[in-house]
Amino acid sequence: MAIRECEREAVTKVLGCGDPKNGFAEYWCLDCGKEKKIVPFTCKSRFCPSCGKVYTDKWVEKMSKEMVDVPHRHVVMTIARELRPYFYWNRELLPILINSAAQVMKSIINGKKKNIDLTPGIVIVVHTFGRDLKFNPHIHALMTEGGLDKNGDWKPIDFLPYAALRKRWQHLILKAFRAVYKDNKKVVNLINKLYTQKKDGFYVHARTKMRSARSAAKYIGRYLSRPAIAESRIIRWDDKEVEFWYEDSETGKKQNITLPILQFIGRLVSHIPEKQFKMVRHYGIYARNKRFECRAAVKFWQIEKLLQEKKIHGFEGRSPTNKKINYRERMIKEFGSDPCKCPRCGSDMELVKIWHPKYGDIYDLLSEGVEVVDYGKRQKNKKEKGKAICKTGGNGDLSLFAV
């Protein structure tokens, strides 16, 4: 299989992640004049382990504020092994999984409340990798246990019909395949075979429950933008082969596997999504244009129930905050060190330059009229023009622009 353009672009970005040649921000301590720090730009690629982690953390923070605070269910939906090659060679078929999953979950929720049209909240993430890095497209979804009716009232449910969920999921997938490959006799025969062999439907797991919006967002966030393999699973490598371990889903035991290095790389890059393909989709009350009004409607329902019953089953109150966590706070939280403190004098370091390989200096504090002694010490009798972006209370979005 030829290298896809999206693979070439993603790998190039990751290889250049953190390289000052691709741009950087420069920080100086203007109090002692003894320290300066170069912070290279990062690649922002979903294929990059570190950048993917930052993206996931930001998404969890954002969604935990936008999700309604009701119980959620984690749903994993898989397909038959015989169908995987068709998705591998035809990536444009992946939306079949996403659309079918959304349709199944909507119908299951509505089926629990007859004669009432409910709108649940659904977040769907499509994965293409299995634990052994083989191509295994499947769905991870987060679904509210209930939905809003046409009057804006919340109707909870507490049971999912697993048999119906599996069979409906299988039917929608095979129905879509039949529509795409209606003139392909081999595929039509395969579809008929799968109906016969898998009378209970395709495998679906939906028993994991979360009681609050934050725990639900955190849980699904683990599947959001993670790489196909964590570095901690790699046992050893050299210029010929790579050995890593994975947990067998059937036995629950660890299995070691050794691959030639090119095959290992090939498996990794095969999971890079096509450019502009959205791996995460939002449906129902979590659709972008409905989140605010639906969250308000559920909140009113919860307050009303709280006044009536003095408690809400499955609801955990929380004190929401609109404050975004910036780079400085994230580094302190993750590593326990403040990247904006001068290691010599303890003062806040200040941003003095942002350099881009295409545009050159796009910010330069020294050109604004601040005189310095040596390479960093501030002249106290000069007017400063420039903002100490690293200081607490500064603009969180601009803090260490490179990251």
Instruction: Summarize pLDDT for 79-138 with one digit per residue, the tens.
Output: 999 999 999 999 999 999 999 999 999 998 887 777 788 889 999 999 999 989 999 999
Instruction: Identify the three-state secondary structure at position 267.
Output: helix
CB distance 194 to 80 below 8 Å: yes
Q: Model confidence over 142-182: pLDDT tens digits? A: 999 988 888 878 888 878 888 999 999 999 999 999 999 99
388 has pLDDT over 80: no
Q: How many CA atoms lie within 13 A of 341 on its CB side?
A: 10
Which of the listed ranges 69-73, 172-176, 279-283, 393-397 does the model predict with the highest average pLDDT? 172-176
Tell me the C-alpha to C-alpha distance, in Å, between residue 304 and each of 157, 297, 300, 310, 312.
18, 11, 6, 9, 10
pLDDT for 297: 66
Query: Which of these ranges, 291-295, 333-337, 338-342, has the smallest mean pLDDT?
Result: 291-295
Q: Between residues 354 and 2, which one has the greater pLDDT?
A: 354
Percentage of residues of the chain with pLDDT beyond 90: 43
Instruction: Identify the three-state secondary structure at position 244.
Output: strand
The CA distance from 327 to 401, in Å, is: 9
Nearest to 393 by CA among 302, 298, 326: 326
The CA distance from 271 to 134, in Å, is: 9
**Residue 369 confidence class, pLDDT cut points 50, 70, 90:** low
**Residue 211 confidence class, pLDDT cut points 50, 70, 90:** confident
Query: Which of these ranges, 124-138, 225-239, 309-323, has the smallest mean pLDDT?
Result: 309-323
Tell me the C-alpha to C-alpha distance, in Å, between residue 151 and each of 35, 205, 288, 301.
62, 32, 20, 11
Can you tell me the mean pLDDT for 255-283?
92
401 has pLDDT over 50: no
Nearest to 284 by CA among 117, 168, 170, 55: 117
Residue tagged 């100086």 (tokens) = 28
CB distance 71 to 131 below 8 Å: no
The CA distance from 32 to 212, in Å, is: 48
pLDDT for 65: 76
The CA distance from 340 to 44, in Å, is: 21
Nearest to 22 by CA among 5, 38, 46, 37: 38
Q: Between residues 93 and 392, which one has the greater pLDDT?
A: 93
318 has pLDDT over 60: no
Q: Model confidence over 150-160: pLDDT tens digits? A: 887 888 887 88
The CA distance from 352 to 364, in Å, is: 6
251 has pLDDT over 50: yes
Put simply, whether the predicted model's pTM sits higher than 0.85 gets the answer no
Backbone angles phi, psi at 127, to 5 degrees: -115, 145
Which of the listed ranges 18-22, 273-277, 302-306, 367-371 does the model predict with the highest average pLDDT? 18-22
pLDDT for 268: 92
Can you tell me the mean pLDDT for 220-238?
83
Tell me the C-alpha to C-alpha distance, in Å, between residue 272 and each of 53, 219, 220, 266.
16, 22, 19, 11
192 has pLDDT over 80: yes
pLDDT for 11: 92
Cβ-proximal residues to 215 (8 Å cutoff; 6+ apart), any chain: none
Cβ-proximal residues to 371 (8 Å cutoff; 6+ apart), any chain: 379, 382
CB distance 298 to 69 below 8 Å: yes
Instruction: Identify the three-state secondary structure at position 344.
Output: coil
223 has pLDDT over 80: no
H or E stretch including 163?
A: helix 162-180
CB distance 121 to 146 below 8 Å: no
402 has pLDDT over 60: no
Question: Measured between alpha carbons, how far apart are the two ends of the chain, in Å?
Answer: 35
Question: 254 has which bridge partners?
Answer: 247
Q: Model confidence over 24-76: pLDDT tens digits? A: 999 999 888 889 999 999 998 878 888 887 888 888 888 877 788 888 999 99
